Amino acid sequence: MGLKGYTSPRTPEGRSSLVPYPPWHYVGAFLVVDYWADAEQAAAFLPEGIDPHPDAGRCAFVAADWQSCSEGGDELLDPSRSQYKEVFVVVNGLYDGEEVTTCAYIWVDRDFALARGWIQGFPKKLGSIWVTRSFGLGGPADPGMQAGARFGVTCAAYERRVAEATVTLEQPSAGGPFHNAGPIVNVRHFARLAAGQHDAPAVHELVRAVSRDRLVSDVWEGSATLALHGAGHEEIDALAPVRIGRGYRFTFGYTVDDLETVREL
């Protein structure tokens, strides 16, 4: 009896939730660009409780072409419920002296991923995202994981291109990417609509991501380009690169079914 399900819509049988119960298993192809934004601007995006990183302005741009499922994996056979693409920017900082990252901007292209992100503290919006793929076959349309292979990513939101990046592979990477390596600490937030409480969110807390069963392929690295474009409704140009590091390509997987609240805001 009663309504069932991990999220709305909760229903008699509980099969309808936009986000199914954890655990959520992920695998995806990644393109990462280590870069530095203007130090002051980057610091301004850090939530209360996270201090600026000593390597001022340190950020990473990340694109992921994901496939995910819940336990049992049924979504994999109805792949519109398992695939999505995502672009995000993390700003590096210190939490209690530890190196962390925090997600300032993130776009995904599917609703279940948007809501699943909000629950984890990722400030997701919908966008339209495209990432060059590698097929492991060869030929002129398949860049491959090899020196000279070129990959591109674009992200558009509300009918504007807000981000574009390219990576040209040179060699296997020794340890990178670095700017996306720290644990991620995000702001989980859910607003109130009651009159007088529009600035008194029902949920407002600093949360630290928890994951398990991480898998990663070999990582290749090379030169990179990155551009971030603002709009009336986006301030991501404030995080535009002032210096660009290396770009990286790899495949990554993990499982998520936990989250740690580290501080109420």
Nearer to a second copy (CB atom), residue 128 or residue 223: 128
The nearest distance, CB 56 to a second copy, in angstroms, is 16
137 is an interface residue for a second copy by CB under 8 A: yes
How far is Cα 138 from Cα 144, in angstroms, rounded to an integer? 6
Nearer to a second copy (CB atom), residue 223 or residue 251: 251
Nearer to a second copy (CB atom), residue 171 or residue 191: 191
Closest alpha carbon to 119 in 22, 252, 236: 22
The nearest distance, CB 186 to a second copy, in angstroms, is 9
Nearer to a second copy (CB atom), residue 2 or residue 175: 2
Number of chain residues interacting with a second copy (CB under 8 A): 112
Q: Looking at 38, 49, 67, 262, which residue binds a second copy (CB under 8 A)? A: 67
Instruction: Tell me, residue by residue from 84 to 103, as one string, x for binding to a second copy by CB under 8 A and - for no binding.
Output: --------------------
User: Which residues between 116 and 135 bind a second copy (CB under 8 A)?
Assistant: 118-120, 123-126, 128, 130-133, 135
Closest alpha carbon to 263 in 183, 173, 203: 203
| Candidates 52-60, 76-84, 92-100, 176-184; binding stretch for a second copy (CB under 8 A) | 76-84
170 is an interface residue for a second copy by CB under 8 A: no
User: Which residues between 203 and 242 bind a second copy (CB under 8 A)?
Assistant: 203, 210, 213, 215-217, 232-236, 238
The nearest distance, CB 241 to a second copy, in angstroms, is 18
252 is an interface residue for a second copy by CB under 8 A: yes
How far is Cα 146 from Cα 141, in angstroms, rounded to an integer? 14
**Token pair in block for residue 164:** 């574009």
Task: Return the bridge partners of 67, or none.
Answer: 27, 83
Q: Looking at 148, 190, 200, 243, which residue binds a second copy (CB under 8 A)? A: 190
For 94-144, give the DSSP string.
Answer: EETTEEEEEEEEEEESSHHHHHHHHHHT--EEE-EEEE----SS-STT---
User: Which residues between 140 and 159 bind a second copy (CB under 8 A)?
Assistant: 140-143, 150-156, 158-159
Q: Residue 88 in contact with residue 66, Cβ under 8 Å?
A: no
**Which residue reads 């770009």 in tokens?**
247
Q: Residue 57 in contact with residue 242, Cβ under 8 Å?
A: yes
Closest alpha carbon to 148 in 127, 171, 129: 171
How far is Cα 247 from Cα 13, in angstroms, rounded to an integer? 46
The nearest distance, CB 256 to a second copy, in angstroms, is 8
The nearest distance, CB 217 to a second copy, in angstroms, is 6
Instruction: Sort strands 128-131 and 160-172 into parallel, antiparallel or unpaired.
Output: unpaired
Q: Residue 42 in contact with residue 259, Cβ under 8 Å?
A: no
Calculate the CA 47 to chain-centre distance: 17
User: Which residues between 9 and 38 bind a second copy (CB under 8 A)?
Assistant: 9-13, 15-16, 18-19, 21-22, 25-29
